[in-house]
Structure 1
Amino acid sequence: MRINALATVIFGITANPFTALADSNGSVRSAYALCSVIDGTGMASAPCEVSGWGSSVTTTLDTSSGEARKLCGQVANLMRSKGLTFDSGWTFQIKSPYSGDNSIAFCNL
């Protein structure tokens, strides 16, 4: 399934030594690194979005809410394990092309 392929690509992320400590600039750099990987897979239905003001990373995937919730947790755990850190309050949100502005999965980074 496409979500498993996306997870496989995301698990290939390597840590950036300059973002080992959470700070505002580091959080934004980590967010753009995550978006770059997601966009690079070609599996997103729309470009990944980073909101520094809203402290969020949002992607749109054509998947079920159950699969999105599973992937969300995997991505959040992976970011921590690879040393891509975020200030408290940063979130990863997954939307569906059919969910409008509503997220189908949401987790803390």
Structure 2
Amino acid sequence: MVALARSIGIPRKSFQLRSWAICACVGEKHESEELLEMMRGLMTLALCLSMSAGHALAEPEAVTNAKTLCRAVDTTISLSPCTYSEEAKTVTVSVATAGGDARELCQTIVSSLVEKQIYFGAAPWKLNLKSPASGDSTIASCDLPQTPH
């Protein structure tokens, strides 16, 4: 995995993202732009790996893509297992980020999905980012990409 990440330009220190994010949550300061850049690279790698794992034929595209997104964030930025709800049309991720950084991370994830052409069908789905620092409240929410018409 390290070789694959290096081959697409992700620096070795990006693999330390989870510990960096946890440190940021407990008060150590890191430049948020550098952290977001590392997250962006890891999300791209994780989405590529998840897409290659295949899709179940019997479930809707949105559910398959919610599972793909959860696998990607679970291996990169999520502090606890990602969850999704087909009924509520939501994907929920727990992150060690706050406020503006969470909103920017939300948009970064959506941009990565669009870049990889991962869409959530015609009905609108939401990505909710939660934080343990906020009592597990939603700190950012954004629309997941819908299939283009």
Interval containing the TM-score (normalised by the shorter chain): 0.7 to 0.9
Find the residue that maps to 2:113 and give its secondary structure.
helix
Find the residue that maps to 1:45 and give its secondary structure.
coil
TM-score, normalisation: structure 2: 0.61
Find the residue that maps to 2:128 and give its secondary structure.
strand
Find the residue that maps to 1:63 and give its secondary structure.
coil
In structure 1, the gaps of 5 or more residues are none
| Structure number with bigger Rg | 2
- What is the alpha-carbon distance in structure 2 between the residues aligned to residue 7 and residue 49 of structure 1? 20
Match among 23, 39, 63 for residue 6 of structure 1 = 39
Taking the TM superposition and a 5 Å limit, the aligned residue runs for 1:88-99 are: 88-99=123-134
In structure 2, the gaps of 5 or more residues are 1-19, 22-34, 145-149
Larger relative contact order (Cα-Cα within 8 Å, sequence gap ≥ 6) = 1
TM-score, normalisation: structure 1: 0.81
Which residue is 1:34 aligned to? 69
Of Structure 1 and Structure 2, which has the larger fraction of its residues in helix?
2
**1:73 paired to 2:107:** yes
**1:85 paired to 2:125:** no
- What is the alpha-carbon distance in structure 1 between the residues aligned to residue 136 and residue 101 of structure 2? 18
- Aligned-pair identity (%): 29
Of Structure 1 and Structure 2, which has the larger fraction of its residues in strand?
1
Aligned length: 104
- After TM superposition, give the deviation of residue 65 of structure 1 in Å: 1.4
Letter of the 1:9 partner, please give it: L
- What is the alpha-carbon distance in structure 2 between the residues aligned to residue 8 and residue 67 of structure 1? 16
- What is the alpha-carbon distance in structure 2 between the residues aligned to residue 79 and residue 98 of structure 1? 27
Deviation string, structure 1 residues 12-57 (Cα, Å, up to 9, x no partner):
22384988xxxx710011011011011112x322111111111011
